[in-house]
Structure 1
Amino acid sequence: MTTLKAAILMDPISAIKPAKDTTFAMLLAAQARGHQCWVFSLPDLFLRDGKVWARLREVTVRDESNDYVTLAAVEERPLAEMDVVLMRKDPPVDLEYLTACYLLEHAGTWVVNNPVSLRNANEKLYALHFPELLPPLLVSRDLGDLRAFLAEHGEAVVKPLSARGGEGVFYLHQQDRNVGSILETVTGWGQHYVMAQRYIPAIREGDKRILLVDGQAVPGAMLRVPSEKDFRGNLVAGATAVAAELTERDQEICAALGPALRAAGLLFVGLDVIGGYVTEINVTSPTGAREIRRFFGVDAAELLWQRLERGQ
């Protein structure tokens, strides 16, 4: 087995929830396989004299709830000294995130997921390359267009294009007298594009998270069942995670998407599937590895490191 030096760009590790954090799972798996890991955050990344550098801290992790990490002293090093850099910064995909992707494009080493593809693959819009997998939807900033879409379908979900965790997502129906106010809010009075999707009643059964490593589906999935007080299948919005098998339709979806994801250098991807439709393709920092391992004993993080050990 090849021993790797890996740098992980993530939100501050001191603020994560280890039991649910997929990046933490990646660190645990890397450590178990003998790899040497450093962590850093956006403020630690910079370019000087044509080289991309970072203020790195070597990390030791423990699978505990509280005393779960030890960080060494800061080292200022060029990223080219690493065998691989994992880009695991959470959304929003704002200007700072995009700037980091521009810098990582010049890291001089392998970056996973590919920073060019991260810029291109908006998590709401990338799925438009696969229209046969999608529910009826509309992308617009025009209030009249959005009202017409709602009138056509009776129920719809509207969501911003760069948020995460169900932030700013609304369920709409024609009898709701708040529709005008909601559409004005989410579009900023027509200044921002949003996506409207036909409401899929199967969301009451759950929003399925499927993980793919190098274009291959990880066996087993996580179904996020909304709470009785919410329609969103997001764990941070109160949904409950339960085990879910991959259906024949799920396998068809993964087979259709896998080759394109692999070709784009998107090695670790999370699909959101509701009622047999793809609703999002998550490429920035998809989660679910901890839950899927708990349900099925399959470690997506370990599968990722097995792939990274084979090299580019």
Structure 2
Amino acid sequence: MIIQKNKKMRLKIGIVMDSISSINIEKDSSFAILLEAQNRGHDIYYMEINDLYLFNEQAFSKVRLLQIKKNKNKWFEFTKQKDIKLNDLHAIFMRKDPPFNTEFIYATYILENAEKNGVMIINKPQSLRNYNEKIFISFFPELIPNTLVTRNINRIQTFWQKNKDIILKPLDAMGGNSIFRIQKNDPNFSVIAETMTHYEKKYCMAQTYLPDIKYGDKRILIINGNPIPWCLNRIPKKGETRANLAAGGLPQIQKLTEKDWEISHLVSPFLKKKGLIFVGLDVIGDKLTEINITSPTGICEIESKKNISITGMLIDYIEKKIHKR
């Protein structure tokens, strides 16, 4: 495709996400990204995971052309529906929320096919498969709390007895779902461990409890290896271990601390190398606890409080990358 100098290119941008009919447009990062793309004149092609398919080694999808607006009563409209080859698009956001299951993995294979045919996929499908959001932190052992991934209850018990106060969480969930704190002498240890491991049939993660959670769980956003200078700090409500907004956490916007910058700069080169363009780091105190690569959130909260356009930076990156091609 030949692009004339000084002529703005109208891009075809796809997105794979959960049903747009059920989102909260005041908080949904996918909506914010799409609104920025639409405001720049780009065409939006909406897909859900069941729309993707392969035919004769070619990636296809049923798509709906999407128009959106900031109206709480009617925020989207589909103008046309058709099946297309995914390589008809310039870029595709993979923004399907966890659970990270086999269906998610199959979708990444289909998207990888499109990527091989020249479509920019954000984030890179191979990396979405290779780096589980919870286990990913093990690549940076100097930055994380004591962490154990296992489905063996005896190992979890030994870890608990040694560390006294721990967190147990699943590897494939989000939003604070099924996160348990087990303190010293907790009589519920056995039932929690049995539930979390499905009687030793499913892996989970154990981490030392971080008392600094009372000061918040920070979401640090990174675009193409560049940390955003403001983060979303989620403060747990009284009596709650989890700080996730979905679990009632209170949002605060604050500047990155010196330690936040240090963690971000240590992790960012690896993210960039692996094609993980839009990422959210979770930091409690001075410890990295998760690396969110499937559908990072926090854009709306930061943009609503600070004079910064995270979506603008993201779409800028995509436009420049595609124009160079």
TM class, shorter-length: over 0.9
1:305 lines up with 2:315 in the alignment: yes
Tell me how far apart the structure 1 counterparts of residues 177 and 315 of structure 2 sit (CA, whole Å): 31
Q: Secondary structure at the match of 1:14?
A: helix
Q: Aligned runs of 1:140-289 on 2, under 5 Å? A: 140-289=150-299
Give the Cα–Cα distance (whole angstroms) in 2 for the partners of residues 292 and 278 of structure 1.
Answer: 20
CA distance in 1, matches of 2:79, 2:167: 45
Separation of aligned partners in 1, 2:80 and 2:302: 34
Question: Residue 66 of structure 2 aligns with which residue?
Answer: 59
Match of 2:304 among 288, 294, 304: 294
Output the aligned Cα RMSD.
1.0
Number of residue pairs matched? 312
Q: Percent identity?
A: 39
Q: Is the contact between residue 146 and residue 196 of structure 1 (CA under 8 Å) also seen in structure 2?
A: yes
Q: Which residue of 2 aligns with 1:130?
A: 140
Equivalent pair of 1:219/1:298 in contact (CA under 8 Å): no
Q: Which amino acid aligns with 2:139?
A: H
Q: CA deviation at 1:3?
A: 2.7
| Whole-angstrom CA distance in 2 between matches of 1:162 and 1:298 | 32
Q: Which residue of 2 aligns with 1:16?
A: 23
1:88 maps onto 2:98 in alignment: no
Which blocks of at least 5 consecutive residues in structure 2 are unaligned?
1-7
Offset, 1:2: 3.6
**Residue segments in structure 1 that go unaligned for 5+ positions in a row:** none
- Of the structure 1 ranges 100-109 and 62-71, higher mean CA displacement relative to structure 2 is found in 62-71
CA distance in structure 2 between the aligned counterparts of 1:157 and 1:301, rounded to whole angstroms: 33
**Aligned residues of 1:8 and 1:88 also touching (Cα < 8 A):** yes
Q: Does 1:36 align with 2:43?
A: yes
Deviation at 1:42, TM superposition (A): 0.9
- Structure 2 Cα separation of the partners of residues 263 and 117 of structure 1: 10
Aligned residue identity for 1:90: D
SS in 2 for 1:106: helix
Deviations 1:35-89 (A, max 9, x none): 1111110111111122111111111111222211111121111110000111010
Range with bigger deviation, 221-230 or 277-286: 221-230
More displaced stretch, 66-75 vs 193-202: 66-75
- Tell me, in whole angstroms, the C-alpha distance in 1 between the residues paired with 2:210 and 2:170: 18
2:3 is aligned to: none
Residues 218, 298 of structure 1: 8 Å contact kept: no
